[in-house]
Amino acid sequence: MIAHLAAPETADYLTEERGIRSWLLTTDHKRIGLLYTFSVTFFFAVGALFAALMRLELLTPASDLVDPETYNKLFSMHGIMMVWFFLIPSIPNTLGNFLIPMMIGAKDVAFPKLNLASWYVFMIGGCVALYSMMRGGVDTGWTFYTPFSTIYSTTYVVGAAAGVFISGFSSIMTGLNFIATIHGLRAPGMTWFRLPLFIWSHYATSVILVLATPILAITLLMIAVERIFQVGIFSPELGGDPVLFQHMFWFYSHPAVYIMVLPGMAVISELVAAFSRRAVFGYVFVAFASIAIAVIGFLVWGHHMFVAGQSVYSAMAFSVLSYLVAVPSAIKVFNWSATLYKGSVSWDTPMLYAIGFIGLFTVGGMTGLFLAALGIDVHVTDTYFVIAHFHYIMVGGTVMAFLGGVHYWWPKISGKLYPEGLARLSALIVFLGFNLTFFPQFVLGYLGMPRRYAAYPPEWQALNVLSTAGASILGIGYLLPLCYLIWSWRCGPPAPPNPWRATGLEWQTPSPPPKHNFEVTPVVRRKAYDYEGMKEELRLV
């Protein structure tokens, strides 16, 4: 690596203004990305705490660590925290906020004040949710099914629902901002098909954020109305239908899982290209696959309701559509794999996470096809099979992508380099811990262990013990990066502008970037991932 002559002593986005006011009133998308990073890390820790308690309880067959009522609260609050306060905002609001304007050559997002407002709204929602958890929590499951949530539960349903409702507006603001930014603020020459695939995936994510989240909002509002006024919108007393709640809830919540995974895919596209030093194979296919996932993802929600009482014909239609939605995801996996072929592959930490993602997401996705088959679903629905399936995608997928992305862009964000050896070890620990935690759960689910149960028959204890052991290893794997990344921010070696020698406008700026990203708006003449064309340029970086 050429010794980097430090940029002249101009301030970067971290040092240009100082003091707590400059952070809490900032409109700089990079600082807002960091604010979100602190928030989601905190909420992840809260959700992980609930998970730890659950796994400790499940070490023994009897419900002896906590009673069943408390266990109900634990899995509910784990789900609520992880879904709405970690997974949905994680990549879009941290990496997306930081990188989208830079990748398209803009100085900021379209509506910077709206961006800051979205963080405050998110924090208020989080505080409301945390408050209801401290007042005793909610025990309905993160899915709030009626009529239990509206009539029979004695816990803080309205409080938890209110927290989620408020944070939903943060999602909508973010999606709106990203769509307007990507449409309107691209630098001259940055045509749609020169955009990094990170942008395409986040655009698709934003479309889902904008169209699906309002349905969640109105559904939560309706259960609050039903609970407060004791009127039967979704309850049989007045002729209401509980399945209607499920239709409305899953109309949002299925696209929501694509909100959670598309940004992960966005990161992987960037990592695979950079660490194979090749353009992503089949760029156009991958770009349109993102859009296809977003669109088809809206048509499959009934696969969560196969045994709920919807009509068989409806179930058949949703089953076929669910098979269809796997196709664009598979296209992406094939294309990422093809990118590696004849590429110059290096095994830096971000690449370890990326390869891990591809493998684990494939397992998660294929088990989704098991679930989409009506006959199999009747057997494994509401068992640990489903839990393993979505954790392979959410944790094996999204969280790995998040960690990979954080490591990859860490030099740009912090201006420091993280310790590579320790980071690779942590990635390995995460991978091993993850598989030990969740693979036994596929077996448990197939054997029939129901989800959301605090107690289980003794013959399943061995598998549960394996799972809990894996969870503790996974926890260590997550704690290590938290420690060494913070350490590197303070004491790590300074990073050059382009430590990975990657293409992309974000690498054309100093590390860390100045407040306005680009002194002069760049003019784009190259296609995306032009490793061939930029060989000389990148060699000299």
Partner 1 sequence: MSSPEVLALREQYGTADQQREISTIGMWIFLATEVMFFGGLFAGFAIYRMYYTQGFMEGSAEMEIVLGSVNTAVLITSSLTMALSVYKTSIGKQFHTYLLLLATAVLGLVFLGIKFTEYYLHYQHHKVPGIWFESTSPHSGAIELFFVYYFCMTGLHALHMIIGISVVVVFAIRTALGRFNALYHTPILILGLYWHFVDIVWVFLFGIFYISGLHR
Partner 2 sequence: MPEVTVSPRIYYLTYAALLCLTLGTVLIGYLDLGWFSMFVAVAIAAIKATLIAAFFMHALYEKVMIRLLIAGALLWFMILVTLTMSDYITRSWLPLPGK
CA distances from 218 to 95, 115, 222, 260 (A): 29, 23, 6, 21
Count CA atoms closer than 13 A to 389's CA, side-chain side. 20
Q: Give the separation between CA 493 and CA 495, rounded to whole angstroms.
A: 6
What's the min distance (Å) between Cβ of 309 and partner 2?
7
What's the min distance (Å) between Cβ of 290 and partner 2?
16
Among residues 248 and 286, whose Cβ is nearest to partner 1? 248
Residue 517 Ramachandran class (φ > 0 left, ψ -120 to 50 alpha, else beta): left
24 binds partner 1 (CB under 8 A): no
Q: Give the separation between CA 289 and CA 144, rounded to whole angstroms.
A: 32
CA distances from 21 to 17, 38, 121, 202 (A): 9, 16, 18, 30
Alpha-carbon torsion angle 248, 249, 255, 259, nearest 10? 140
Take residue 240 and report the two structure tokens written for it: 């209401």
Among residues 177 and 435, whose Cβ is nearest to partner 1? 177
- From the list 38-46, 77-85, 211-219, 307-315, the region that binds partner 1 by CB under 8 A is 211-219
Residues 6+ apart with CB under 8 A from 529: 196, 273, 278, 279, 280, 283, 503
Residue 310 interacts, among partner 2, partner 1, none and using kind-specific CB cut-offs from 5 to 8 Å, with: partner 2
Residue 302 interacts, among partner 2, partner 1, none and using kind-specific CB cut-offs from 5 to 8 Å, with: partner 2
What's the min distance (Å) between Cβ of 458 and partner 1?
45
CB atoms within 10 A of CB 18: 10
What's the min distance (Å) between Cβ of 524 and partner 2?
21
Count CA atoms closer than 13 A to 526's CA, side-chain side. 15
What's the min distance (Å) between Cβ of 296 and partner 2?
11
Residue 217 interacts, among partner 1, partner 2, none and using kind-specific CB cut-offs from 5 to 8 Å, with: partner 1
189 binds partner 1 (CB under 8 A): no
Position among 24, 134, 238, 462 found at the interface with partner 1 (CB under 8 A): 238
Q: In a 3-state reduction of DSSP, which class is residue 416?
A: strand
Take residue 534 and report the two structure tokens written for it: 């930029």
Among residues 73 and 254, whose Cβ is nearest to partner 1? 254
Instruction: Enumerate residues 246-265 that contact partner 1 by CB under 8 A.
Output: 248
Long-range contacts for 120-125 (Cβ within 8 Å, ≥24 apart)?
Answer: 121/166, 121/167, 121/169, 121/170, 121/173, 122/36, 122/39, 122/85, 122/89, 122/93, 122/167, 122/170, 123/39, 124/166, 125/84, 125/85, 125/163, 125/164, 125/165, 125/166, 125/167, 125/168, 125/169, 125/170
Among residues 302 and 396, whose Cβ is nearest to partner 2? 302
524 binds partner 1 (CB under 8 A): no
Interaction site with partner 2 (CB under 8 A): 183, 211, 215, 243-244, 247-248, 251, 298-299, 301-302, 309-314, 317
Position among 8, 239, 375, 421 found at the interface with partner 1 (CB under 8 A): 239
Instruction: Enumerate residues 99-128 that contact partner 1 by CB under 8 A.
Output: 101, 106-112
What's the min distance (Å) between Cβ of 521 and partner 2?
21
Position among 1, 229, 458, 539 found at the interface with partner 1 (CB under 8 A): 229
- Among 203, 216, 201, which residue's Cα sits nearest to residue 280? 201
- Among 82, 221, 212, 47, which residue's Cα sits nearest to residue 144? 221
Q: What burial letters (b/e) apply to 93-127, b meaning 16+ CB within 10 Å? A: bbbbbbbbbbbbbbbbbbbbebbbbbbebbbbbbe
Among residues 233 and 394, whose Cβ is nearest to partner 1? 233
Among residues 191 and 346, whose Cβ is nearest to partner 2? 191
213 binds partner 1 (CB under 8 A): yes
- From the list 130-138, 216-224, 354-362, 460-468, the region that binds partner 1 by CB under 8 A is 216-224
Take residue 46 and report the two structure tokens written for it: 């809260």
Residue 106 interacts, among partner 2, partner 1, none and using kind-specific CB cut-offs from 5 to 8 Å, with: partner 1
Q: Can you give the length of the chain in residues?
A: 541
Please report, as a single letter, which amino acid is at residue 431. F
What's the min distance (Å) between Cβ of 252 and partner 1?
9
User: Taking CA 322 as the corner, what is the angle to CA 316 and CA 326, rounded to the nearest 5 degrees?
Assistant: 150
211 binds partner 1 (CB under 8 A): yes
291 binds partner 1 (CB under 8 A): no
What's the min distance (Å) between Cβ of 257 and partner 1?
18
Rg, C-alpha atoms of the chain: 23
- Residues 289/329, Cβ–Cβ less than 8 Å: yes
What's the min distance (Å) between Cβ of 99 and partner 1?
15
- Residues 129/160, Cβ–Cβ less than 8 Å: yes
Please report, as a single letter, which amino acid is at residue 20. I
Among residues 322 and 509, whose Cβ is nearest to partner 2? 322
Residue 228 interacts, among partner 2, partner 1, none and using kind-specific CB cut-offs from 5 to 8 Å, with: partner 1
What's the min distance (Å) between Cβ of 211 and partner 2?
5
- Among 406, 405, 473, which residue's Cα sits nearest to residue 439? 473
88 binds partner 1 (CB under 8 A): no
Among residues 301 and 500, whose Cβ is nearest to partner 2? 301
180 binds partner 1 (CB under 8 A): yes
Residue 299 interacts, among partner 2, partner 1, none and using kind-specific CB cut-offs from 5 to 8 Å, with: partner 2
Residue 489 interacts, among partner 2, partner 1, none and using kind-specific CB cut-offs from 5 to 8 Å, with: none
Take residue 2 and report the two structure tokens written for it: 């050429």
Among residues 312 and 491, whose Cβ is nearest to partner 2? 312
Give residues in contact with partner 1 (CB under 8 A). 101, 106-112, 172, 175-177, 179-180, 183-185, 210-215, 217-219, 221-222, 225, 228-233, 237-241, 244, 248, 516, 521
